[in-house]
Amino acid sequence: MHMATMRTRRLGWTIAAGAALLSLRPIGPFERLADLALAPARVLGFLGAPSLLGGRGGLPADAGGAPGNLELERDLSAQLELAILRSAEPEQVPWPIRGVVPIPGEVDVSEDVNRDRVSLRVSDPGPIERGQAVVAGDVFVGTVEKIPVREPYRDRPGLLEKLLRRAGLSSPPVPPPRDLVIVRLITDPSARVGARVEGPASCRMVVGGLERLEDRVWLAVHNPESQNIHSGRVVVHESAPVVDSADSIASGFLLGDLSETTVAATDRTPRRQVVGVDPLLDFEAGLNQVLVLTPGRGPGVVDPRRSDIVGVLEATGWRHVDMASLGDLCAWRSTGRLDVGRNVGVRAGAAVVDGVRLVGRVSRSDQIGSTVALLDDPGFRVSALAQPVDDPGATPLVLGELVSQGRSAGGDVVLRWQPASGSRHDEWIQRHSGGGDEIDVRLWTGSGMRRVPRGLLLGAASLRSLGAPGGALLMELTGAGDPGAELQVRTGSSRLARPAANNVVYAAEGER
Amino acid sequence: MKRLTSLGIFFLWVSLAGAAQLFLISGSGGPGVDGPALGRACVPDLMTLVLVVAVGRLDRRDVVTLALIAAAARAACTAAPPFAVLSGCLVAALIADTIRRFADLDRAWLRAGAAGSGALAIGTWLLLVDLVRGSEARVTGRLSFGQASDADFVLAALTAAVTALVAPLVWPALHRLPGLRRLERKAF
């Protein structure tokens, strides 16, 4: 064989092997280099425009019995936001607490390597200190671990990093936002909080970390005062005179229900009895609005009003975009391509909307365009809330994570929902359906997804009671966003809504 | 300069093939809960077909260049990582080149084999990358999209089979794509 051809073949296999390694173990600077190198090649992206003919729908479908117009949906989204802000305050726990100022915060990002931490965007970071308790409604969530803006800021780039920055392929880390707070959840292995079982035979214990079972996840119980109590509601119990802890002001907040089960023997472990706390929250995908309990004198309750709500589309950082093409050469994916990318600040994870309806999320962005994973892309995950179609002001049900299964034979997007083990959806459905076990709901995006604001409409679906834990429900979504419509992409990451500072009611002294 | 122009024209042809493929795909039923996206999988892999035909026609020293160009065009039409697309295109081109090394791609079954194996290599490789990245993301909690499953290998195989069937039919037309004469091998 000709030597030059031999060399070419060898070069080809070498490049193929290198590229294969880089595709399985992605390295940031190389990925950016590839994006940069491919930018000129993507100018012909407009050639894919005819593919839009297959995806362009007509008028937006009706999402739940009401006329499908933008103004109405914006109003519904604002009502949802108001209901969420109100739901952050306790109902069962005595409230307000004397000497406690609650600082509202929205869960910003829970998609991260460490699932036992969440970041919050709070309305007023001033009085917040490390170790302060964080609650969601009646439930204790965890404690403040870090306030990044107060941490020493270090940027010591190495030689390679310096070169990359000079070439424009990397940029210095962005200082953390002022209102960012990191919370260590009670699910963290090192988290501990004093607790007791409510009832006549009170039993004290320590709760923290997880007890993983086959079909559910409980909070782990340590050092229970008695081994004979296996049921009852568990609440935080750390009396201030005994323990000088910020958790003590969260005394009385709920942790969950004490439960017991038998774990069958395996090859490595014998049959055993496990006692744990069945949590009242889905800590992984069910956190939305929380309160940081700070000691001090000041406003004791948060009373958000309709006029304080910033509409989901009025918040900063939306940009009109056009879909350049629809479809993916991989038959198992459903994606589209936008005509803008990093050049205008579009980043991976950003929401793409048709009005207030979520169409998809940016899965990858380059210099001149971005790829969007559509709602019907199998595996598309979204944190969701449900609200009755007939009662848009009701406290929403936190569903947690929904996973797209693609489309049904009828063309509707199908989402799979598996309730968390502590889900109280049965009670919620019964309350809002007048005792029935099925209800028509609108599904909305919840908090905790990077660059996806809370309060985007997913569509309408029928929600029914699942009974025993471990079951899953496939929901057919009507009125989902149309990727062929006029679209907007989120380029900002600022907080969505914030109650005005002058809109708080001061705690009544001696309430508790 | 003329050579560069020819390579540019090749890029245009591959991009047009990608656009046609996207158009056909968007008109077919997507992946769904009632079954895999068989309709989409029945669309032949036109981009790979153009690449394989070009490898069969043009100078063998240009195999890598052609694969790089095809990868650049393909990366704009898929959510798959660019490096995965690059390695897939290179492997497809090198498979076709290997077949050509032993026999000219002048028979229908050879053409079908070259195109089919190229499409199968790209399809299975991209699916494998999706599976690996997806399972890693589930463990680490990193942002990821797509949920390929083992059953999707059927889709890759189906696309490869359709591509193989179509290859002998469209080969003569693709073999005469204008603007590539400068890249053809010299006759001795």
Question: Per-residue pLDDT averaged across B102-112, rounded?
Answer: 83
Q: Among A373, A351, A340, which residue's Cα sits nearest to residue A490?
A: A351
How far CA A108 is from CA of A153, A219, A323, A336, A364, in Å, comes to 21, 23, 27, 26, 20
A494: confidence class by pLDDT, cuts 50, 70, 90: low
Write down the pLDDT at residue A461. 93
Each residue of A78-124: pLDDT tens digit?
899 889 888 888 888 888 888 888 898 888 876 555 778 888 888 88
Locate CATH 2.40.10.340 in chain A: 55-66+311-490
The closest CB to that of A9, out of B43, B94, B130, belongs to: B94
Question: What span, in angstroms and rounded, lies between the C-alpha atoms of A493 and A452?
Answer: 8
User: Residues of A with CB below 8 A from B47's CB?
Assistant: 329
**pLDDT of residue A241 exceeding 80:** no
The closest CB to that of A332, out of B63, B142, B155, belongs to: B155
Class of domain A55-66+311-490: mainly beta
Residue B127: count other Cβ atoms within 10 Å of its Cβ: 22
Report the share of chain A in percent with pLDDT over 70: 89
Cβ contacts of residue A17 below 8 Å, gap of 6+? B87
Q: B108 at the A interface (CB within 8 A)?
A: no
Taking all residues of chain A, what is their mean pLDDT, rounded to a whole number? 81
Question: What span, in angstroms and rounded, lies between the C-alpha atoms of A166 and A163?
Answer: 5
Three-class DSSP category at A82: helix
Q: Are the beta carbons of B23 and A51 closer than 8 angstroms?
A: yes
> What number of helices (H) and strands (E) belong to chain A?
6, 27
Selected residue with higher pLDDT from A430 and A59:
A430
Taking all residues of chain B, what is their mean pLDDT, rounded to a whole number? 85
Three-class DSSP category at A90: coil
From A166-180, A216-230, A321-335, B81-95, the region with the lowest mean pLDDT? A166-180
Question: Per-residue pLDDT averaged across B61-77, rounded?
Answer: 89
Question: What is the maximum span of chain B, computed from C-alpha positions, in angstroms?
Answer: 59
Write down the pLDDT at residue B89. 93
The burial class, CB within 10 Å (0-12 / 13-18 / 19+), for A295 is: middle
Nearest CA in chain A to B46: A329
Question: What span, in angstroms and rounded, lies between the C-alpha atoms of B32 and A322?
Answer: 25
B70: confidence class by pLDDT, cuts 50, 70, 90: very high
What's the complex ipTM? Answer: 0.87
Question: What span, in angstroms and rounded, lies between the C-alpha atoms of A151 and A447?
Answer: 25
User: Residues of A with CB below 8 A from B125's CB?
Assistant: 20
Write down the pLDDT at residue B90. 93
DSSP string, A437-459: SEEEEEEEE-S-STT--TT-EEE
* Assigned token pair, A212: 């993983």
Q: Are the beta carbons of B127 and B156 closer than 8 angstroms?
A: yes
Question: What span, in angstroms and rounded, lies between the C-alpha atoms of A268 and A273?
Answer: 15
B182: confidence class by pLDDT, cuts 50, 70, 90: confident
Q: Are the beta carbons of B77 and B129 closer than 8 angstroms?
A: no
Write down the pLDDT at residue A309. 80
Q: Among A346, A280, A288, A281, which residue's Cα sits nearest to residue A109?
A: A288
- Say if the Cβ atoms of B19 and A30 lie within 8 Å: no
Question: What span, in angstroms and rounded, lies between the C-alpha atoms of B35 and A93?
Answer: 48
Q: A477 at the B interface (CB within 8 A)?
A: no
Selected residue with higher pLDDT from A366 and B28:
A366
Mark which residues 278-337 of A lie under 8 Å from B by CB.
Answer: 325-335, 337
**pLDDT of residue A507 exceeding 50:** no
Nearest CA in chain B to A55: B26
A510: confidence class by pLDDT, cuts 50, 70, 90: very low
Q: Are the beta carbons of A488 and A313 closer than 8 angstroms?
A: yes
Write down the pLDDT at residue A240. 55
Write down the pLDDT at residue A379. 86
**pLDDT of residue A43 exceeding 80:** no
Cβ contacts of residue B8 below 8 Å, gap of 6+? none
SS3 sequence, chain B? CHHHHHHHHHHHHHHHHHHHHHHHHHCCCCCECCECCHHHHCCCCHHHHHHHHHHHHECHHHHHHHHHHHHHHHHCCCCCCHHHHHHHHHHHHHHHHHHHHHCCCCCHHHHHHHHHHHHHHHHHHHHHHHHHHHHHHHHHCCCCCCCCCHHHHHHHHHHHHHHHHHHHHHHHHHHCCCCCHHHECCCC
User: Residues of A with CB below 8 A from B11's CB?
Assistant: 41, 44
- Most confident by average pLDDT, A35-39, A123-127, A176-180, A472-476: A472-476
Question: What span, in angstroms and rounded, lies between the C-alpha atoms of A325 and A51?
Answer: 6
Nearest CA in chain A to B153: A332
Report the share of chain A in percent with pLDDT over 90: 13
H or E segment to which residue A63 belongs = none
Q: A201 at the B interface (CB within 8 A)?
A: no
Q: CATH assignment of A193-279, given 2.40.350, 3.40.1350, 2.40.10, 2.40.70?
A: 2.40.10
Question: Per-residue pLDDT averaged across A267-292, rounded?
Answer: 83
Domain ranges in chain B? 2-25+37-178
Question: Per-residue pLDDT averaged across B50-69, rounded?
Answer: 88
Rg (CA), chain A: 25
**pLDDT of residue A239 exceeding 70:** no
Distance from CA of A128 to the nearest CA of B (A): 28
**pLDDT of residue A369 exceeding 60:** yes
Write down the pLDDT at residue A353. 92
Question: Per-residue pLDDT averaged across A330-354, rounded?
Answer: 88
A511: confidence class by pLDDT, cuts 50, 70, 90: very low
- Most confident by average pLDDT, A39-48, A299-308, A359-368: A359-368
Report the share of chain B in percent with pLDDT over 90: 34
Question: Per-residue pLDDT averaged across B100-112, rounded?
Answer: 83
Question: Tokens 């919370």 appear where?
Answer: A183
